[in-house]
Structure 1
Amino acid sequence: MPGVKGPSDYSKEPPRHPCLKINSKEPFNAEPPRSALISSYVTPADLFYKRNHGPIPIVDDLERYCVSISGLIENPNELFMKDIRMLPKYNVAATLQCAGNRRTAMSKTRKVRGVGWDVSALGNAVWGGAKLADVLELVGIPKLSSTTQSGGKHVEFVSIDKCKEENGGPYKASIPLSQATNPLADVLLAYEMNGESLNRDHGYPLRVVVPGVIGARSVKWLDSINLIAEECQGFFMQKDYKMFPPSVDWDKINWSTRKPQMDFPVQSAICSLEDVHAIKPGKVKVGGYAVAGGGRGIERVDVSVDGGKTWMEAFRYQKTGIPYIADDPSSDKWAWVFFEVTVDVAHSTEIIAKAVDIAANVQPEKVEDIWNLRGILNTSWHRVKVGVGHSNM
């Protein structure tokens, strides 16, 4: 790709925030402390989780950088940054979440493969850029199309990023054309994050943001866009990020029997307390995040301090002090919701949170019921053990 290159080693990695918990150094995968997540509705770029599959690409000439659009279309083209910036700019608040968020807890049930994430493999940002629907219109694909004249039904995003899973080839993923051409789906070619240019870790100079979908489909360091008849055949679409039942292990896996995972199920986690946290008896503030895929709002967050026997409904908000209303025009439909409730804790116990979305989907109680060999989509009730005693515990 002119102007941008994917290095073959890790000698030119960008600087990172020292508070990040590093889960893998090469490639770099790290998450912030859980308490940092709920300190800000919009996650600062340096505290936003880092999910990488290879060395971070380097931009050496932004003027020469362009994205090719080709495949099953009548008018293939190349777009430079100036072309993309000429399109109407949209700012979309959207939470991106790695499909492996909370994998560590799932691995305690039975061993799984993958990066060992705690509860912070997600973040919420205001992404700025052009809508993919507008970009595709430039090459003759009308809005709300489900197929091109030449039979293209999926939009494949190919990265500059090189990874071993693709045998040194680029990372890639796809979404249906019907989603890509729907302006209400808010799929962006983003060049800004929180009002500033993307940094290298988050896809500079240009990335895809697919709201409401697992983070693996929001391809960074965009190299090309291909209109294809079938789903992308890349490793991360066909041999990874698929949800298998608990009965399937590595000896009897058949990847072709499952569809690539797209929407994220309803999820929540307590971030105000660590596991195991020593606290004084009395009133304790329990806070965290809740988020659902597909733009489904959060209808309720329930918190229990007695192992799930009784529940209290938490206060939900996106803007501090202002009650959140699911599906209200004032709410950010693709973004997480914070919750908060003050509880009485008299003795050592397990505090639990579970969220419910507007479709009445609720987090499953037991991680065992959703265990899968890749450790993805752990959306079971989030549990934090607290020890109650004196301050010198």
Structure 2
Amino acid sequence: MATRTPRPFAAAAALRQFVRRDASGVGFSCRLARPRPRHLHAGRSRPSTTSAATHPPKVPATPRPPFQSRVAPVSLLIGGGLFASVLAYNHLGDDQPDIEGAPSLPKDDRDPSLPRYRIADVRKHDASSPEPWVIFEDKVYDITDWVSAHPGGDVILRAAGASIEPYWNIFTIHKSKHVREILDQYMIGFIDVADLGPDGRPPAESIEDPFVHDPPRDPRLITHTARPRNAEPPNEELDRSFLTPNELFYIRHHMWVPVVEEARADEHVVSIELPDGDVKRYTLRDLKERFPIHKVTAVLQCSGNRRNDMTRHAGKTNGLQWGVGAISNAEWEGVRLSDVLADAGLQVREATAPTRRDGSAPSGGDAVDANAMHVQLTGLEAYGASIPLAKALDPRGDVLLAFGMNGKPLPRDHGFPLRAVVPGHVAARSVKWLSKIVVSDEESTSQWQRRDYKSFGPNEGPHPNWDRAPAIQEMPVTSAITGVWVGECVRKGRVPWMGGASAASSSSSSSSSNSNNRGGGNANGSGIVDMAAVSHNVGFTPTAAPSTASSPCPPSISAEPIAMQGYAYSGGGRAISRVDVSLDGGKTWDQAELVDDCASPGSPCYGSKTWAWRRWRYVGRLPTLPVPAAEDRRGADKGGDRKACTTLVVKATDEAYNTQPESHRGIYNVRGNLATAWHRVRVCPRCTPADEKREGGVTWSTGETYGCGFGKEDQGETTREK
């Protein structure tokens, strides 16, 4: 029940207040109900309210006049009798005089047009209520409509009837402006001052940490958020090998990791619901014993991979500021989803049958049109997504219900005991901890399908039309630079994949110099650069005869050898046909060598199409660059003297001649999805004076150009795209 601060019992005073008022001002005025926000509504029917007293309607966008906000609800005036109405009016009014001897309460200068609620009343709207409420700071929110659309759905109900802040202190990813703006749309009032502490907040509550049972992680991973864990491998580890080691595979979680006992993993059940409502259930043991086992070598890539590039080069984006490491490659083992659906009894129309253009399900008969249906996938932690049924049934689509990864059982972080693997599609569709599959005539109604993983035009700004944009499925072509070596380390062959061969005489073409260096290799500490950090040296060029004591370096340096490495990938099973490299910001171009990892007997590629990434290598010579004097090295370190730097660029083209856009500005979207523009990394020479420990010379550095940057806020030192 909405109340004002309770007063000591004073019926006579209340009655005097009441009778003085103009009856026409009290009468039978009704509050106008605000329409529910529908931009996040996912089809949940709204239960009827009991009365305005137990659930006041939401406040209109334009505040009501203060007098109207004090009028007693009609149900009280009619059903409770005059005396009850007097008391209700006494509680709701703002202008009753304080009764002598009453305890003083803090001044309430918050919006007077919004109701006040006692914590006891909020507790009635817990997870069991058809209308759950939560508290944030000193405000009350009705999240009835949000639950069905909120990422996690049932998870937010843990906080229903109480404060959501203890959960947000754990789920730190929620502490962002755009999440708060969404929640604010569901605000219905304030906590009564009688229930607020000295800090203006309700008393803090303790909750059980749902992340306490998460698995340990490799310390080399670069963490963006700890709870839930979102992390990527450092550049020097990212594509060191063709198959990403399980412990270094990037981690993308929306919640905690479900706990499934290893000893009982084979008893894990996944249910299959068909369009006619029939449900079949399979244990993991059933899948392993009843269906053929298949392997698929495939990349999983987050739609936000390289989001930080888009932020720095185009504009602010919402979401985790991934570098180039939200992508990994693995060999997956499991059973085909198409085999399981057929066994469950799914009837599909012949491929030659006409397809309805409107995308709706065919009428009549038990067989469904695969082009008009979707497969909804749900995990144990409530995450949900969907893919087109046509993809699931495509004999060359290789969609797996996977239980193995790189020859081992799935790690807990990557879906143990069972996950979906949808090759060529955004990783958001490869649902982990898979527990339910539904064949439906509509997409998943989850937030992740309907809002999060979409892209739209750069003109749509911070409030795009989510309904108009299709959900991301197949991924576009992309590439990235993951390692750079310059100068002496290249001359002496200390680049890991060069096998110790000298590169001093290498030409600008990489095809001849790298012909015997396929397949990568293990880093030997020679200086793979983690460009996620700052001021990393990438090489050294000694100077035998310094010109002056104050400047031990020549005024410029030319034809310095450089080695680079990285990855390229395209979705939909499209192979990478070419990787172009530029050492001068895109003025001139050369081609990198594509490493033929699938030819290796030790790591053959499985699958009907090219689902894996393609690693590339390049050796060339930098253009002539001025060398700042030692006293000017700070400017070079900060990337301030751009004349003393050059920008390395990479772009890839797939077999369908799809290529990367030049600029992130043309593909900008506020969610930062599909940041696939040319990848740029600036390198700069700087002069290093000689001392007793080292000879003087030119040190090559990435400076502050964190081309694979992680969470950097400073926008002033970045390389702007031209």
8 Å CA contact 1:277–1:385 kept in 2: the answer is: no
Partner residue, 2:251? 50
SS at match of 1:36: helix
Per the alignment, residue 483 of structure 2 pairs with 272
CA gap 1:338/1:332 in 2 versus in 1, 3 angstroms: farther
Higher relative contact order (CA 8 A, sep 6+): 1
How far does the alpha carbon of each residue in 1:109-166 deviate from its partner, in whole angstroms, 9 at most, with x for none?
A: 21110011000000000000001111111112257878792758111000101xxxxx
What is the DSSP-based 3-state SS (H/G/I as helix, E as strand, rest coil) of the residue aligned with 1:91? strand
Shift of 1:64: 3.2
How many residues end up aligned between the 2 structures? 374
- 1:166-223 Cα offsets, whole Å, 9 max, x none, are xxxx110111111111121000000000010000000000000000011100000001
Q: Which residue in 2 is equivalent to 1:69?
A: 272
1:362 to 639, 659, 673: 659
Match of 2:464 in 1: 253
Deviations 1:72-105 (A, max 9, x none): 1474210001111121111100000000000111
Q: Is the 8 A contact 2:297 2:607 kept in 1?
A: no
Deviations, residues 244-277 of structure 1 (Å, cap 9, x unaligned): 1111122x32211111011111000001135465
Structure 1 gaps, min length 5: 1-5, 162-169, 323-327
SS for the counterpart of 1:294 is coil
SS in 2 for 1:369: helix
**Paired residue secondary structure (2:396):** helix
Decide whether the 8 Å contact of 2:396 with 2:608 is kept in 1: no
Q: Does 1:343 align with 2:630?
A: no
Equivalent-residue separation in structure 1 for 2:320 and 2:467 (angstroms): 23
Distance 2:591 2:266 in 1: 53
In 1, the alpha carbon distance for the partners of 2:582 and 2:400 equals 38
Find the counterpart in structure 2 of residue 35 from structure 1: 236
Letter in 2 for 1:368: R
Alignment partners' CA distance in 2, 1:140 and 1:96: 30
Counterpart check, 1:160 vs 2:380: yes
2:307, 2:323 within 8 Å by CA — same for their partners in 1? yes
> Which residue number corresponds to residue 310 of structure 1?
588
- The match for 2:611 among 321, 334, 338 is 334
Native 8 Å contact 2:346 2:367 kept in 1: no
User: Partner of 1:360: helix, strand, or coil?
Assistant: coil
Quote how far apart the aligned CAs of 1:21 are.
0.4
Q: Counterparts of 1:1-393 in structure 2 under 5 Å?
A: 9-60=210-261, 61-73=264-276, 75-86=278-289, 87-108=291-312, 109-141=314-346, 149=366, 151=368, 153-161=373-381, 170-250=382-462, 252-273=463-484, 274=529, 275=531, 277-278=536-537, 279-280=539-540, 282-319=560-597, 333-345=610-622, 346-347=624-625, 348-389=645-686, 390=697
Farther off after superposition, 195-204 or 75-84:
75-84
Structure 1 residues 321 and 314: CA distance shift in structure 2, 3 A:
farther
Determine if contact 1:144/1:178 at 8 Å carries over to the other structure.
no
Secondary structure of 2:665's counterpart equals helix
| Counterpart-to-counterpart distance in 2, 1:258 and 1:104 | 22
210-219 vs 275-284, greater mean Cα deviation? 275-284
Q: CA deviation at 1:295?
A: 0.5
Provide, for residues 288-346 of structure 1, a one-character-per-residue CA deviation record: whole Å limited to 9, x for no partner.
Answer: 00000100111100000011011011110232898xxxxx9999610000111101024
Answer 1 or 2: which has greater helix percent. 2
CA contact (8 A) 2:334 2:400 kept: yes
Moved more, 144-153 or 33-42: 144-153
Q: What secondary structure, in the 3-state scheme, does the structure 1 residue paired with 2:448 have?
A: helix
Which residue number in structure 1 is paired with residue 500 of structure 2? none
Assess, with a 3 A threshold, how the Cα gap between structure 1 residues 239 and 28 changes in structure 2: closer, same or farther.
same
TM-score norm. by structure 2 comes to 0.50
Alignment partner of 1:183: what SS?
Answer: coil
| SS in structure 2 of the partner of residue 84 of structure 1 | helix
Q: Secondary structure at the match of 1:184?
A: coil
- Give yes or no for contact 1:207–1:221 (8 Å, CA) kept in 2: yes
State how far apart, in whole Å, the 2-side matches of 1:27 and 1:387 are: 37
2: CA distance, partners of 1:171 / 1:16: 22
The amino acid that maps onto 1:335 is A
Contact 1:143 1:183 in 2 (8 A): no
- Equivalent residues of 1:305, 1:352 under 8 A apart: yes
3-state secondary structure, aligned to 1:201? helix
**Separation in 1, partners of 2:606, 2:233:** 30
> Which 4+ stretches in 1 moved above 6 angstroms?
143-148, 328-332
Give the conservation status (yes or no) of the 8 Å contact 1:277–1:387: no
Residue type of the alignment partner of 2:402: A
1:62 positional shift: 2.1
**1:392–1:176 CA distance, 2 compared to 1 (3 A):** closer
Q: SS of 1:309's equivalent?
A: coil
Q: 1:203 to 1:329 in 2, by over 3 A?
A: closer
Q: Which moved more, 1:105-114 or 1:270-279?
A: 270-279
Instruction: Determine helix, strand or coil for the equivalent of 1:17.
Output: coil
Mapped to 2, the partners of 1:235 and 1:382 lie a distance apart of 30
Higher normalized strand content (fraction of residues): 1
C-alpha spacing 1:133/1:301, structure 2 compared with 1 (3 Å):
same
Measured at CA, do residues 144 and 129 of structure 1 come closer, stay the same or move farther in structure 2, by a change above 3 Å? farther
Largest Rg, 1 or 2? 2
